[in-house]
Chain A
Amino acid sequence: MENLITRYGAVSVLAGVLFVQVVALAVQVKRTDSKQESTRLLRVWAVSTITPLEKALVWAQSSANDIFRNYFYLRGVRAENRELKQEIQRLRLEQVRLADDAEQARRLQLLLGFKEKFIAKTLAAQVIGSSGSEQSRSVYIDKGTHDGIEQGQAVITADGVVGKVLRVFGSSAQVLLINDQTSGVGVILDKSRLQGVLRGTATGQVVLEKIMSDEGVQMGEVVTTSGGDQIFPKGLSVGVVQQVKTGNDSFLEIRVKLAANLNKLEEVLVVTKMDQRAPTPSEVAGTVRAVDILTQRLPSVPDKPAVDPKNPGAAPTAGPLASGTPTAPTKTSGSAASNAAVGNATAKPTGTTAAKPGVTAGATGGAGKVSAATKPAGASASANPVAGAAKSAATGGASQGVTKQSTTSSPEVLKPTTTASPGVTPGAIKPAVVQKPANSGTKAPDKSAKPAADKPKSDAPVEDNHQ
């Protein structure tokens, strides 16, 4: 007997160790549904052992990168700074345009009593490690319960959705990526408005499930979160449809290319707080208008040109136009703004306009209304800062009913130009707006509109007041 134990001792130990692990595995699998996690202690020990090393290495790496960037990589900073400033200007106008759209949406939501969920607070975290397994697609971040992270919170980047917090430890947390086969995200297709469930596969790709095979899904269609999973707020970018195939069952097999690069995650945002409420009337009213931003960036408004009482029809002398400096805005009825709105409207794909260029605000019933009315239903926010600026300017300008000028704006050089012709009294002006075509894809309002190529290269104001 003793001989047998000595001889088969190793095999006995092997059988015992395997038996214990199999039983433990079976217990865990059985308890999958329950919230009590039996392996919590082991996970805490392992994570507490590994993550400090990862944090230290990530910190050292980022510090070295910072030193390199701060001291050795300053050559292109000036040019980059200039580009970034231009980008900021473009984005500010874009923001105003989007705010305008959001304002409309909020108005509708207010009318419908619709409650929306939106991101109220996020926390930036650094990705410090992964699971180390191809079958477990999860990463660790350097924020935990001490920083307010909780289980089930959404994790995103600027590009799109990343995953959700699966386990939280003291100073770290485990994030389950959306391309893991055990994860699922409620999504909606942007054009067709079809809803489905996004799931990961064993190979790390993501597929969109639960869409019937008789539905028409186009490749390249944008996929966003639907908010139905109660984890991710609605409208976050997920990716685009990469491949559409008919599956074996009655559902389509849709492969999605993710917007966020999950293979190279460095920093993420954890959505730590989400609010659910209906928009208030004050929110709907209190929006920033494009005209306010444009006014801030315009040169100071000079006084009204003195008109000789003896010769009221004479042109004001030595006006700003003569000196080549930016002219003062000419006081008009705000029809310029309405024309800007028309320019924007004609740039829309449908081309449905409520007013023609040259029609005054009074005739169109207000530029803001024109802007809203001419927008095709369901049109998505187009990245057209020029048109957006003009549209927003129209909205704000018409509602304010104050001084306006014809505006020739471009995304790069945002220098509004004024169009008051010398010799014309402000009250007699019938301004027509020079609306630069936003890009090659947009349409100029009419033949009188000045194309982009005609725009003077100098910063001198453009005089284009044809009547």
Chain B
Amino acid sequence: MRRWRTITSSVPILYTSQEQVDVYRFSLPTAIIVPLLAIFLQAFLPLRFPFLAMFDLPLLVVVFFAIARRSQIAGLLTGAAIGLLQDSLTHQAIGVYGIAKTVVGFGASSLGAKIDVDNLGARFLGTVFFYMLHEVVYFVVARGMVQLSLQWSWRHELLSGLANGFLAVALFAVLDRLKQRT
């Protein structure tokens, strides 16, 4: 217990002041190409490998950008844009993914101001949490407004959340190279 306390105190996960927070920005090509690439892969890969449908690459990109930028408005706008683009590829009404990812973008950027985004554990847990939040919002909107007959499965959602969490750890490490310190 003592050792654990030493570690946590030496590497703070929770920031105590805004001065400690590193805020990053991204170049315009990166900000456009990365979300488009995520949506493209999300639409293309499950055709060849159906099990990959459990991953939500656009969601991971929303979480990454929101956490790295740490701007709530930028985060929710990024989430809304990516969500609406993802919606427009489906055959359903546009806005279900948009609303869910808007909420996630806002939440992730708010939390990003208080969490060390370079910590692997925080990235994993944060992604699992935001995946579940995304699914809950999607489920509520899809059933409540669009009246889709969705079935909630805790097992499926938790497994997908964990899978997305692991993928996020690897993906964020790659995307870190695209960061530009402000």
User: Chain A residues in contact with chain B, CB under 8 A?
Assistant: 9-11, 13-14, 17-18, 21-22, 24-26, 28-29, 32, 39, 42-43, 45-47, 49-50, 53-54, 57, 127-136, 138-140, 166-167, 174, 176, 180-182, 202-203, 263-265
CA distance A263 to B46 in the complex (A): 8
How far, in Å, is A200 (CB) from chain B's closest CB?
Answer: 10
Extra 20 A-B pairs, beta carbons < 8 Å, given A46-B88, A176-B91, A202-B150: A13-B72, A13-B73, A18-B102, A24-B94, A25-B145, A42-B88, A50-B36, A131-B90, A133-B86, A133-B97, A135-B92, A136-B91, A138-B90, A139-B47, A167-B91, A182-B91, A202-B149, A202-B151, A264-B47, A265-B47
Question: B4-12, B15-23, B37-45: which one contacts chain A?
Answer: B37-45
Question: B77-85, B125-133, B169-177: which one contacts chain A?
Answer: B77-85
Per-position 1/0 for B36-76, Cβ under 8 A of A: 10011011101110100110001000000000000011001
What number of B residues sit within 8 Å (CB to CB) of A?
Answer: 46
How far, in Å, is B31 (CB) from chain A's closest CB?
Answer: 15
CA distance A133 to B160 in the complex (A): 13
Given contact pairs A21-B95, A132-B89, A182-B91, A14 touches B42 in the complex (Cβ within 8 A) = no
How far, in Å, is B134 (CB) from chain A's closest CB?
Answer: 12
Q: Find out whether the CB atom of A129 lies under 8 angstroms from the CB atom of B47.
A: yes
Using Cβ atoms and an 8 Å threshold, which residues of chain B touch A129?
43-44, 47, 89
Per-position 1/0 for B93-104, Cβ under 8 A of A: 111111100110
Q: Find out whether the CB atom of A28 lies under 8 angstroms from the CB atom of B93.
A: yes
Given contact pairs A17-B77, A139-B47, A176-B91, A29 touches B84 in the complex (Cβ within 8 A) = no
How far, in Å, is B48 (CB) from chain A's closest CB?
Answer: 8
Using Cβ atoms and an 8 Å threshold, which residues of chain A touch B145?
22, 25-26, 29
Using Cβ atoms and an 8 Å threshold, which residues of chain A touch B40?
50, 53-54
A-B contact pairs, 8 of them (CB 8 A): A10-B106, A17-B80, A18-B99, A21-B98, A50-B39, A54-B43, A131-B91, A264-B48
Using Cβ atoms and an 8 Å threshold, which residues of chain B touch A264?
47-48, 50
User: A23: nearest residue on chain B (CB-CB)?
Assistant: B95
User: B71: nearest residue on chain A (CB-CB)?
Assistant: A10
How far, in Å, is A162 (CB) from chain B's closest CB?
Answer: 13
The one of A13, A25, A45, A54 that contacts B96, using a Cβ cutoff of 8 Å: A25
Number of A-B contacts (CB under 8 A): 138
Judge whether B158 is part of the interface by a CB distance below 8 angstroms: no
User: A127: nearest residue on chain B (CB-CB)?
Assistant: B47
Judge whether B148 is part of the interface by a CB distance below 8 angstroms: yes
Q: Find out whether the CB atom of A47 lies under 8 angstroms from the CB atom of B94.
A: no
How far, in Å, is A24 (CB) from chain B's closest CB?
Answer: 5
Judge whether B142 is part of the interface by a CB distance below 8 angstroms: yes
CA distance A28 to B93 in the complex (A): 6
CA distance A167 to B76 in the complex (A): 30
Given contact pairs A18-B99, A135-B150, A203-B151, A57 touches B44 in the complex (Cβ within 8 A) = yes
How far, in Å, is A339 (CB) from chain B's closest CB?
Answer: 54
Q: Find out whether the CB atom of B90 lies under 8 angstroms from the CB atom of A25.
A: no
